[in-house]
Structure 1
Amino acid sequence: MPSCLVIDENNIVQKVANRILSGLDIETVAVSGLREAEAILGMKKTRFDLVLLSATMPDTPVDVALRTLRAGPVGSAPILVSLVEANLGLMTRSKRAGASGFLFRPFDRASLSAWVEPFLVAA
């Protein structure tokens, strides 16, 4: 069963992503920030096949979060950055820092599935 780490400061986004991904038979762990993600990654022995990362975390710029994740245990996993709107500067910085792709919020089952499935097939 593939697994996904969801890093998002919004509890509602975490719950919606968890519900949708669980329905796709993807084991999901949701956390609210990079520090919590690092703690989970330090304890968890299995790897994640995919990471969904919010671009709007209050404590950490997305490019810093991406570089931190790329340097850690999920370094080779696809990381999709979650955006509320298309922001070319933010998207460019994210790609340079290691983002595999982007998804836009709010999302529903169809849109999240469409963004996630190509990366899980490749994993």
Structure 2
Amino acid sequence: MTQCLVIDDSSVVVKVAARILGGIDIETTGAASLAEAEMLLAKSGLCELVILSAALDGTPVEAAVKALRAKPATAKAAILVSLVDANLGVMTRAKRAGANGFIFRPFDRASLLAWVDPFVKVAA
């Protein structure tokens, strides 16, 4: 089963993503911060997909992406940065740091699955 980690300080975003992705057999775990995510990864091991909020408190998106790329559990994972609006500066910094793509919020089932599909084969 594909493993996904959603790093977002909004429990609603984590819950909605988990419900949608769980419907297509992607096991989803949520973390409210990068530190919490690192603790979860240390326990659970490899992760194939990470959905990372671009607006984590106290952590610039490029630092978060670089930290995830430095961890063996997420070094090869697809990292999708979650944004509320298209901010070219944030998007550029995230891509340069190693992000694979973007997800725009709010999302629904169709849009989330469309963004995830190129990185994890979705059987919708």
What interval of TM-score do these two structures reach, taking the shorter chain for normalisation?
over 0.9
Which structure 2 residue ranges, 5 or more long, are not aligned? none
Q: Does 1:6 align with 2:3?
A: no
Q: What is residue 48 of structure 1 aligned with on the other side?
A: 47
Q: State the number of aligned residues.
A: 120
Q: Work out the CA distance in 2 between the residues paired with 1:59 and 1:29.
A: 21
3-state secondary structure, aligned to 1:118: coil
Cross-structure match for 2:105 = 105
Aligned residue in 2 for 1:68: 67
2:117 partner SS: helix
1:79 and 2:79 correspond: yes
Percent identity, aligned pairs only, is 58
List structure 1 segments (4+ residues) > 2 angstroms apart after TM superposition. Answer: none
Question: SS where residue 119 of structure 1 aligns?
Answer: coil
Name the structure 2 match of 1:57.
56
Partners of 1:59 and 1:16 in 2: how far apart? 24
User: How big is the shift at 1:59?
Assistant: 2.0
SS in structure 1 at match of 2:5: strand
Deviations 1:81-112 (A, max 9, x none): 00000000110000000000001000000000
More helix by share: 1
* 2:31 is aligned with 1:31: yes
Within 2, Cα distance between the matches of 1:43 and 1:28?
A: 14
* Unpaired stretches in structure 1, ≥5 consecutive residues: none
Q: CA deviation at 1:67?
A: 0.3
What are the superposed Cα offsets for residues 27-69 of structure 1, whole Å, 9 maximum, x if unpaired?
A: 0011101000010111113x11100000000121110000000
